[in-house]
Amino acid sequence: MREPVVRLQRGRDRSVRRRHPWVFSGAVASVEGEPAPGATVVVVAHDGAVLGRAAYSPSSQIRLRLWTFDDATPVDDALVQGRLDLALALRRRLVLGPDTDCARLVFAEADGLPGLVADLYADTLVVQCHSAGAERIQQVAIAHLRERTGAARVVLRSDAEVRRLEGLEVKSGVVAGPPVEGGLVRAKERGLSFLVDVERGHKTGFYLDQRDSRARVRAVARGRVLNCFSYTGGFAVAALAGGAEHAVSVDTSQAALELAERNVAENGIAASRHDGLRGDCFDVLRGLHDDGERFDLVVLDPPKFAPAARHVDKAARGYKDLALRALKLLSPGGLLFSFSCSGAVDRALFRQVAASAALEAGRPLMLLGDLGHPPDHPVPTSFPEGEYLKGYWGLAA
């Protein structure tokens, strides 16, 4: 049977020739055949030259996600399995080991598997399918990863809002292996132990992308630490396991704060060294300043402020406000760790926001380094959109 063909508008093939994996709906000139959602289609330039093969998403603005960039490579189970093996080999080489049993095994486009995310927490594999094409390869991917890792169970977390943009229904729950006892999985990160809610927690249960930044905090933490947007206490635990005397975790979720307390206890840290404070971080930062509180290290790790480019200006104001309030709370020589997970906010703008906040606070801020993705969240040079997490750490005079 003849493969469906998607022809691009004249001049819209340049990004594909540079190996960018996305083609937006406006670049499509015509569709030959009737490809179903997620079906593999041949992508051709306006002159008919074959550019590669892609997964077709008729309901999404991202109409095509490319599997291949040539006419020779077949899109089949062997291709998926081969790319999974390469992805797993990279994580075993750079992340997984005796003291770390949790990592992102598959990072979608970065690993040549658009829309597919797979995270490992000890013996539990958590899988997300964000696109129609990923949905098509789900079963092959799960079976292969389970065989290669020996995972006891697989949890499906295909519940992100992006699925609705693909015209896909939300799916979640244990799809292989025994139920999650007590709802939590115990995972190790650089010798620290964390309880992870893989079925209901944020993302796949834990912010694996902050591994390297948690290690940095652990190495430099001293005195009092304020962990804003703390979720389940990853940065607080890291700080207390390092040199911090006391940490305060702030979050709007009482359940997250309770799990943070359990994670503190998991690591043999006295409960008296950690406090959970429920509230809006903007308001809490203001209140702590009014109360005369001071900290030696502040972490700002907010949720996505700019889901799209049109939200960037508002997001920048939010990041500035947070940094301004944090700088006012830092003791002389205190350290600020600030992050943005908004892909639409680039690193240059985020640094500009830091400079503006420091100027308004009257606190010189010396940047000590950039922060971002660990190696299990690689970013292809042909796909800069893959770099969503950026941050910095700096010293406030």
Active site residues: 341
CATH number at residue 18: 2.30.130.10
**Does residue 175 share a domain with residue 240?**
no
Same domain, 305 and 245: yes
Provide the domain count of the chain.
3
In Å, how far from its chain's centre is CA 104? 9
Query: Do 107 and 228 reside in the same domain of the chain?
Result: no
**How high is the pLDDT of residue 1?**
64
CA 102, CA 189: separation in Å to the nearest integer?
7
231 in a structural domain: yes
Residue 199 lies in a domain: no
Per-residue pLDDT of the chain (397 residues; tens, 9 = 90+): 689 999 999 999 999 999 999 999 999 999 999 999 999 999 999 999 999 999 999 999 999 999 999 999 999 999 999 999 999 999 999 999 999 999 999 999 999 999 999 999 999 999 999 999 999 999 999 999 999 999 999 999 998 888 888 889 899 999 999 999 998 999 999 999 999 999 999 999 999 999 999 999 999 999 999 999 999 999 999 999 999 999 999 999 999 999 999 999 999 999 999 999 999 999 999 999 999 999 999 999 998 887 777 878 888 999 999 999 999 999 999 999 999 998 888 999 999 999 999 999 999 999 999 999 999 999 999 999 999 999 999 999 9
Closest alpha carbon to 112 in 65, 63, 166: 65
| Residue 81: domain span | 77-184
CATH classification at residue 158: 3.30.750.80
Write out the DSSP string of 173-215.
EEEESS--GGG-EEEEETTEEEEE-TTTSSTTSS-GGGHHHHH
Boundary residue ending a domain (29, 46, 68) = 68
Two structure tokens written together for 241 = 């396991």
* Residues 141, 134: Cα–Cα separation, whole Å: 9
Six token digits for residue 379 = 């970013």
Same-domain pairing of 232 and 380: yes
Residues 253 and 282 reside in one and the same domain: yes
Give the C-alpha separation, 309 to 327, whole Å.
27
